[in-house]
């Protein structure tokens, strides 16, 4: 018999401990790898430009100066940008999550003519690189006179987001058929079934989607670059880009400081999302 078999059969508690230790070690090592770049970035926010660019990498700054943060806020109204981006994100998330859920519900639980074709069409829209439709889309929006606003970035969200629809459809399809049957017997309308049953049970997935939607908005430098011109409407990504220039130097210190400030809301959001996510899973109960 091998050691593991021995351990398994003779010492159940030991086996559990060993397994736990292995789990923990692996996870901790993985976590360190994941987190290192961030640690470096945050520490760099306190360094001078030379120290940041130095190699071999210098971890701790010689002097912990806060001047980078001050400088960063002078160069760009970071707080304002954080607010702008959050506003933009919230508006988008709302639309994307709920409308996508509704559309996914339609695809998942109903049959109608042309359904497969339409779904393939949906997938197809995901596959086309944006560069291709970028200019014509811009033309479309400037024809409507809506450039330099948040409209091109938010309005489409209220018509669903294909990636999310795709995902939620798969998710809803795994729900048992009985769910609707019992509600229909009680005479509930389809919308009520959707809103009162599928949405609550699907909370973990919705939170995931919400998180993705938020990330998508937060990181969407390109879209924001194309459609936002006035500095007062600038988002975080645009602000970060302003720290480097074609005719000058990159302000590394303030850039790291600004990036750190931009990172904090995300981490906060992740922690919250994670918590609700796990809660949602616990309460979702029987799904089939």
Residues 171-200, interacting with another protein (CB under 8 A): 171, 173-177, 190, 194
Task: Give the nearest distance from C-beta 64 to another protein in angstroms.
Answer: 18
* 7 φψ region: left (φ > 0), alpha (ψ -120 to 50), beta (else): alpha
Residues 107-126, interacting with another protein (CB under 8 A): 107, 109-115, 117-118, 121-126
Task: Give the nearest distance from C-beta 83 to another protein in angstroms.
Answer: 18
Residue at token pair 């400030």 = 261
Residues 210-229, interacting with another protein (CB under 8 A): 211, 215, 218-219, 221-222, 225-226, 229
Among 78, 205, 257, 261, binds another protein (CB under 8 A): 205
Q: Report H helices in the chain.
A: 3-10, 12-44, 49-53, 67-75, 78-109, 115-127, 130-143, 151-154, 162-173, 178-185, 190-192, 199-201, 203-219, 221-227, 236-241, 252-284
The contact pattern for another protein, residues 63-92, with x = CB under 8 A and - = no contact, is: ------------xx----------------
Phi and psi at residue 198, to the nearest 5°: -70, -40
Residue 14 near another protein by CB under 8 A: no
Nearer to another protein, 77 or 87 (CB): 77
| Piece in contact with another protein (CB under 8 A), picked from 61-69, 85-93, 232-240 | 232-240
| Piece in contact with another protein (CB under 8 A), picked from 25-33, 61-69, 84-92 | 25-33
Nearer to another protein, 187 or 288 (CB): 288
CA distance 51 to 64: 12
Q: Which tokens is 257 given?
A: 């400081």
Task: Give the nearest distance from C-beta 87 to another protein in angstroms.
Answer: 18
Residue 208 near another protein by CB under 8 A: yes
Nearer to another protein, 65 or 242 (CB): 242
CA distance 19 to 12: 11
Residue 39 near another protein by CB under 8 A: no
- How many Cβ atoms sit within 10 Å of the Cβ of residue 43? 19
3 state SS of 115: helix
Residue at token pair 């339609």 = 106
CA distance 10 to 61: 52
The contact pattern for another protein, residues 129-168, with x = CB under 8 A and - = no contact, is: x-xxxxxxxxxx-xx-x----------x-xxx-xx-xxx-
Query: Minimal CA–CA distance to 197: which of 183, 187, 218, 217?
Result: 183
Task: Give the nearest distance from C-beta 71 to another protein in angstroms.
Answer: 10
| Piece in contact with another protein (CB under 8 A), picked from 43-51, 60-68, 81-89 | 43-51
With contact defined as beta carbons under 8 Å apart, do 168 and 245 qualify?
no
| Piece in contact with another protein (CB under 8 A), picked from 32-40, 60-68, 83-91 | 32-40
With contact defined as beta carbons under 8 Å apart, do 46 and 61 qualify?
yes
Residue 99 near another protein by CB under 8 A: yes
Residue 24 near another protein by CB under 8 A: yes
């Amino acid at each position: 018999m091998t050691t593991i078999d021995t351990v398994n059969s003779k010492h159940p508690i030991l086996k559990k401990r060993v397994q736990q230790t292995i789990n923990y070690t692996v996870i901790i090592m993985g976590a360190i790898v994941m987190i290192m770049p961030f640690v470096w970035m945050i520490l760099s926010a306190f360094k001078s430009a030379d120290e940041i660019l130095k190699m071999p990498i210098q971890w701790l700054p010689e002097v912990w100066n806060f001047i980078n943060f001050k400088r960063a806020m002078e160069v760009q109204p970071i707080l304002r940008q954080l607010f702008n981006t959050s506003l933009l994100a919230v508006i988008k998330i709302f639309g994307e999550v709920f409308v996508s859920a509704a559309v996914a519900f339609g695809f998942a639980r109903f049959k109608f003519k042309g359904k497969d074709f339409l779904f393939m069409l949906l997938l197809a829209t995901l596959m086309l690189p944006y560069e291709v439709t970028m200019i014509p889309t811009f033309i479309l929006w400037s024809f409507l006179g809506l450039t330099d606003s948040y409209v091109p970035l938010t309005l489409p969200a209220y018509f669903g987001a294909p990636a999310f629809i795709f995902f939620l459809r798969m998710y809803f399809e795994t729900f048992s058929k009985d769910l609707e049957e019992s509600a229909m017997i009680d005479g509930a309308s389809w919308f009520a079934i959707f809103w009162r049953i599928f949405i609550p049970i699907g909370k973990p997935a919705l939170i995931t989607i919400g998180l993705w939607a938020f990330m998508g908005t937060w990181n969407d430098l390109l879209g924001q670059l194309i459609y936002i011109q006035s500095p007062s409407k600038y988002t975080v990504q645009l602000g970060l880009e302003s720290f480097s220039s074609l005719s000058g130097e990159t302000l590394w210190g303030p850039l790291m400081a600004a990036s750190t400030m931009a990172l904090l809301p995300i981490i906060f959001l992740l922690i919250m999302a994670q918590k609700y996510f796990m809660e949602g899973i616990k309460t979702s109960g029987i799904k089939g």
